[in-house]
């Protein structure tokens, strides 16, 4: 599925940060009762359409990437201006 993020490259560190953001949000949405099997079931990619079993998981993943990219842009901007 094409999104505004299609063609964007992220570093391994950004990917790791996005994974953390995604899982942290999932954990918070379940009030701390997230179970790994549930997460894996939700994000399992279906052969029929190439999307996760839970379509909302895809949007949550994209949101996590946006957060990481935004944080990266903010950090780069602060580094250029010397703001801490």
Mean pLDDT of 26-54: 94
Q: How confident is the model at residue 32, as a pLDDT?
A: 93
pTM of the predicted structure, to 2 decimals: 0.78
pLDDT digits (tens, 9 = 90+) for 5-17: 888 899 999 999 9
Give the pair of three-digit tokens for residue 53.
């079993």
Give the pair of three-digit tokens for residue 56.
């909302």
d(CA 25, CA 32): 10
* Domain positions in the chain: 13-76
Mean pLDDT across the chain: 86
């Amino acid at each position: 599925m094409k999104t505004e993020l299609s063609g964007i490259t992220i570093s391994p560190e950004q990917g790791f940060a996005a994974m953390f953001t995604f899982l942290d949000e999932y954990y918070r949405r379940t009030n701390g009762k997230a179970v790994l099997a549930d997460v894996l079931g939700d994000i399992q990619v279906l052969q029929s359409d190439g999307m996760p079993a839970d379509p909302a998981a895809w949007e949550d993943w994209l949101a996590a990437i946006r957060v990481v990219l935004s944080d990266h842009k903010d950090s780069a901007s602060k580094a250029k201006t010397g703001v801490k």
